Chain A
Amino acid sequence: MTFLMMQPSRQVFIAPTGIQVNSCISIAVDTAYVAAQQGRNINAGVYMMDNMINNGSSGEGQMELHTKVPVGFTIGFNSVPINPVSNDQVIITGFNVSQGSVFGSAGYPRQQPPLGPTQPPGSWWIGQAMNSGSQTYQIQIAVTVGVIQPVTYYVNWDPFITAQ
């Protein structure tokens, strides 16, 4: 894989065809920390925040973010490594809903084109809160470290969304 040095400034540009989002969740990952855990359970190194604290979200900056949005809101999911010069990569590989049905099937998150030339495919997803209520869901990310022989670690955890 050819992967030139990622531009440290993660200024991004909206693709002309991009879907606008009503709300957004960003996931910042300490890639070296995650890699050093060698697949053990982690309770740090992954920091999740949304732009809905004024709507009642809680757990900001932690793994178990509880996002609150109005029904109908689209929700962007953005993943970035905290160290931009490491060449480490963080992408979202998928979602699962274990309890509740805020996304329903129509609002289930889908991968979108990356927001800029320095972002890898998989770093930007959009879902929509179609149904009122609460859900527990799982996000899985893939953290890839190393240049000579990249190693990928998968991490998943259980945040929450309430739509009202």
Chain B
Amino acid sequence: MTTGTPSVFIQIWVDTNALQNGSTRGVYVVDNRVSNGSSNEGSANLQTSVTNGSVVNWQVFNVDPTATGAKSIQAISNSNAWGPGGQPQSDPTYGGFTGQVQNVGTAPYSVTFNAQKQAGSAAITTTVNLTMSVH
């Protein structure tokens, strides 16, 4: 289990009007590391650039903050970036998932989340394929 306050935040913004099973249309991912060399900000292919040891938090947001549909991260995949002990897990303190990068290099990972178009509707499951560049 990773500990510590996250310093890297990755926000997955969702346009639930556009969500469809198996598609990333309407999904926009941003982080707070453009100064560190992150690229593809605002797309579904974000590459986050971080220093080794950083604690990273992921959360899902609805582009419409008044929307009542539920949304939550289901899983974050394995990745070389997490090293031996940094696998992201559900985080009761900060919300979403939190993990730690423990391996230098560039490694892919994926985030799978559920989102409802409105409260009570069937959740749509979406997976975004992202990249973590650890230096």
Within 8 A of B (CB), among A1-51: 8-12, 14, 18, 20-21, 23-26, 28, 30-33, 36, 44-45, 47, 49-51
A32 to B39, CA, bound (A): 17
Asked if B18 CB lies within 8 Å of chain A CBs, one says yes
Q: Between A and B, how many residue pairs show CB distances below 8 Å?
A: 115
Asked if A142 CB lies within 8 Å of chain B CBs, one says no
Stretch from A52-60, A129-137, A153-161 forming part of the interface with B: A52-60
**Known contacts A9-B94, A44-B34, A82-B11; A60/B65 CB under 8 A:** no
Give the interface SS of chain B, mostly helix, strand, loop or mixed.
loop
Binary interface profile of B, 64-98, with partner A (CB < 8 Å = 1, else 0)? 11101000000000000000000000000111100
CB <8 Å contact, A28 and B64: no
**Known contacts A33-B35, A61-B28; A85/B6 CB under 8 A:** yes
A115 to B9, CA, bound (A): 22
24 A-B pairs within 8 Å (CB atoms) are namely A8-B93, A8-B95, A9-B59, A9-B94, A9-B95, A10-B59, A11-B95, A24-B64, A26-B13, A28-B11, A28-B13, A33-B32, A47-B28, A49-B63, A51-B17, A51-B64, A53-B26, A54-B17, A61-B28, A76-B66, A82-B9, A84-B9, A84-B94, A85-B6
